[in-house]
Amino acid sequence: MDPFLVIANAEAGGGERDDLDAALKVLRERADVEVARTSNPGELDGVLQRAGCRTLVVAGGDGSLHAVVAALHKRHELGKHTLGLLPLGTGNDFARTLGIPLDPAEAATALLEGSPHPMDLVVDETGEVVVNNVHVGASAQASRRGARWKKRLGPFGIGILGYPIGAVLAAFQPPYVRLRIEADGEILVDVDRPVLMVAIGNGASVGGGTELTPDADPEDGRLDVMVSLATGPLQRFTYVAELVRGKHEERDDVLSHRAKAVTISGEDFYLSADGEISGPERRRSWHVEHGAYTMIVPGA
């Protein structure tokens, strides 16, 4: 079996360190394993510089995976490495899409027994990448507010509650935005109609399991686009309720589409890409790069 280079967060707390130790115990029974702990992009770049032909295993959540994929993409080395994931983060949404167990020891076993699959990557016009999901509007506001609560509650081991808290706060004062949303050149919504939120999914869920784009498949060469037009007071609360139940795409004020490229333009908007908040923006485009890298996932 190829050796593993496990990339972990040097600032991880005690609980995450214990989970990593449990996973490493399983891995080391059957493979050669080195652990590299990084705390900033410079340290990560140094680790990647000496990675050689080893399988790169990200020990962390969606943000950690994003950081490694983005660094490799910037180095033009993404296609040269096989990646693995030990989901030790808060939300672990990309792991959920891929069916990677959230239990550390089970995830390690899946890594040892899984098989390499080509993964799609979302890339914007500036060269920035998205591994799992990018969303705009009320959901981005929920992420901004939820991130603050995640940081406050993290030391108590309940950081995942930051996501629903952020969603509730955003529901009371959602930012309605007038946007033009184009998918492969087709206008899905124009600026004459306010939008509650837009999601562009390579993976199915955000926020620890909320399936914004439930049918998204990071191997199919398509982006799943979901647009919510539920801007009325009653409509937005029933939308949130049905989103939690996974029934939101059945609504008349929700549009679903698949495309290879998506452009959003119009009024100022914030966006959340793999949990990283940026903006305000006036225009942003994304396209899918099919099979941009290889990742070990459970199953044949």
User: What pLDDT digit, counting tens, does each position of 200-235 carry?
Assistant: 999 999 888 889 999 999 999 999 999 999 988 888
The pLDDT of residue 149: 43
Cβ atoms of 83 and 69 closer than 8 Å: yes
Q: What is the DSSP letter of 193?
A: S
Residue 160 structure tokens: 């995942």
CA distance between the termini of the chain: 16
Give the chain's length: 300
Nearest to 57 by CA among 21, 130, 3, 10: 3
Cβ atoms of 82 and 5 closer than 8 Å: no
pLDDT, mean of residues 54-81: 96
Give phi and psi for 53, each to the nearest 5: -100, 10
SS3 assignment, position 39 = coil
Confidence of residue 16 (pLDDT cuts 50, 70, 90): confident
SS3 assignment, position 174 = coil
C-alpha distances (whole Å) from 111 to each of 36, 53, 95, 99, 273 are 18, 17, 12, 11, 26
Cβ atoms of 94 and 278 closer than 8 Å: no
Rounded Cα–Cα distance for residues 181 and 42 (Å): 36
User: The whole model's pTM is what?
Assistant: 0.88
Rounded Cα–Cα distance for residues 166 and 130 (Å): 21
Q: What is the DSSP letter of 206?
A: B
> Residue 110, Cα to own-chain centre: how many angstroms?
20
State pLDDT tens for residues 152-187.
Answer: 545 555 545 545 545 555 555 556 789 999 999 999
| Beta strands 254-259 and 223-228, pairing class | antiparallel
Q: 106: which residues sit within 8 A by CB, 6+ positions away?
A: none
Rounded Cα–Cα distance for residues 46 and 71 (Å): 11
The pLDDT of residue 91: 85
Rounded Cα–Cα distance for residues 188 and 34 (Å): 48
Rounded Cα–Cα distance for residues 213 and 210 (Å): 9
Question: Within a 13 Å sphere around the CA of 114, how many CA atoms are in the beta-carbon half?
Answer: 25
Q: What's the mean pLDDT when you consider all of the chain?
A: 88
pLDDT, mean of residues 131-148: 75
Confidence of residue 107 (pLDDT cuts 50, 70, 90): very high
Count other C-beta atoms under 10 Å from residue 278's C-beta.
Answer: 13
